[in-house]
Structures are given as C-alpha cells and as structure tokens.
Amino acid sequence: MKSSARLRLLAAATVCGTAAVLAAMAPATAETSDGKTLVVLGDSFSANGAILDLLNPGGDTGCKHVPTSWPTQLTQRMGLSPDDVEDTSCQGGSIDTSGWTLVHQVKRAMSDNAFGPRTHTVTIQLGMNDAWGTDNLIALSRAMPCLIDLINGCGPEATAQGRAPDPDTITAQAYATRIRQAVDYIRYYAPNARILLVGYPEIHSPGSDSACATILGIDVVQPRAAAITEFLDHLDTAQRDAATLLNLTFLDTRALTAGHGPCTPDPWVDGGLDPRTEPLGFPWHPSARGDSILATAVQEWITR
C-alpha cells in the first residue's frame, strides 16, 4: 500500500472512527467467508527481523516474517497449513500512530477472507510503536537517543524535556479505547474466535530504573533509564488491564521470559551483533529461543 493511501486511511479513521472505516472497507465476501484458523496482528515482536533491517529507514514495506518468529513456529507446531493462517504483523506496526496500523492489518485480513466462523484465534501484539499522551506526543522509537545518552541520562526529567514519552499517559482505558472498535469488528465477523492480547518479553527487570543492552558481546548499561523502563512497565499494565476491560485474554509474556532479558546469563532477546544470542538478530527482540517459548505458550492456551 502506498504511503499516501495509508495517510488517507489514517485520516479517515480519525474523522469517522475505526469501526466505520473498517465497515466501509469490508469486502463483499467477508460475511460469507469461512475464515482462517489463526489470525496474527502485530508489530516487529510478532514479525521479528534482523539487525540489517535497521539500515532500511523506510521500514519493512513487505512485512516479512522471519522463519523463527513465534507465529511461524506456532503454525508449524500446530500443523496448520500456511493457507489457514493470516499473519499481517509487520515491523513498525502500531495501533493507530503510524506505519502498518491495526486498521491496515485488519483490512488486509479482511481482503484475504481471514475472518469467519472457522476463525479460532486472533492475536494482537501492538502498542510499543505508538505515541501516547496529549501534550507531548512521542513514540518510544523516537526516544532511543535519550536511552543511549550516557551523559544526560534518560530519567523522569526526560519526559518534561520532550526527549521521552510520558509513561503516565499509557493507561488501560487509553489502550482499550484505541483497540476497542477493531476488537468489536473482529468479534462480529469472527464470532467464534478467541482474541489473545500478547504482551512483550522482559527487556528490563520490572520496576528497575536502569536498562542494559549487549553490543558485540559487551554489556552496556544506562543507569538512568527510568523514562524508558516506566514506559515499558506502564504498557505492560495497560495491556493486562485493557484485556480485562474488553473481556480478552492477556498473555503475560514478561512472566514467561522473566530472568532472560538482555545482559542476563541466558538471554532470550537479541543484542547488537551479540555472539551469545544471534549475531544478526534484531536488538531487544526475541531470539529464536524466546520466540519458541512464546509459541509454546500460545499453543497451550489455544489447545486448553
């Protein structure tokens, strides 16, 4: 989809509401489609990637999925045909901020007749790339210079300085509001589906003010990273509580990966050119091992 078309769609969503936009985009066959067993909606934590993708500032326009991503591993573990799985996750995906939004992903799934009475599971893993708040809209991706600033740090003051997002604006109500209409739409067209809100893996110890990344096998610590760690803590809580508000299931990926974040003896997330995990893996994203853990957990939930 061309960027201009994406912007027009996003503008329409803002003015008309996500539900109206999705209804207007629904293909004529959507109501009669049997659907696919599994539908995956998400960002790079679902699609995953490689460190070389960072050299492409325009983003992953093809929305590729690495062979070890958790949805791919899940598909293989469950013995599903690729034709019976719709994976619209994409690097840079967001709920409604930019890039390949939830609206775009649902539209793609609709076009592929993925929603229907046969649809058993729909997963949503989004929020990391979204801007939050009203006065100082900034996404986490724009706060990376703050995180690596070892001189000024990235503590709570960074929010007031406009260098980091405001964690206090990331609430369950805000999260639920932003995905509610898409959830209602999915429930209408896939009435038998269970919707799973997938959390993010442990990237730092919950409640910690510091953050760490392994680069070339060397642990690099930012001791003043509260603005970022609080963002991640608040996002985790917002997802968990939004699931309750919308009567969804929340998968606590943090708990599944506890003790296996960056700079730990057995990390399940990749560093930068880190020989201990995957040298070409996507930094701060799950390794093949981490994605395997998540795929197993999702499979266990589906087959319960």
Indicate which residues carry an active-site annotation: 44, 285
DSSP per-residue letters across the chain: --HHHHHHHHHHHHHH-HHHHHHHH--TTTTT----SEEEEESHHHH--BGGGGG-TT--TT----TTSHHHHHHHHTT--GGGEEE---TT-BSSSSSSBHHHHHHHHHHTT--STT--EEEEE--TT-EE-SSS-EEGGGGHHHHT-TTT--STHHHHTTSS--GGG--HHHHHHHHHHHHHHHHHHSTT-EEEEE-PPPSS-TT-S-EEEEETTEEEEES--HHHHHHHHHHHHHHHHHHHHTT-EEE-HHHHTTT-STTSSS-SB--BS-TTS-TTBPTTSB-HHHHHHHHHHHHHHHH-
**89 and 125 Cβ atoms separated by less than 8 Å:** yes
Distance CA 167, CA 125 (A): 19
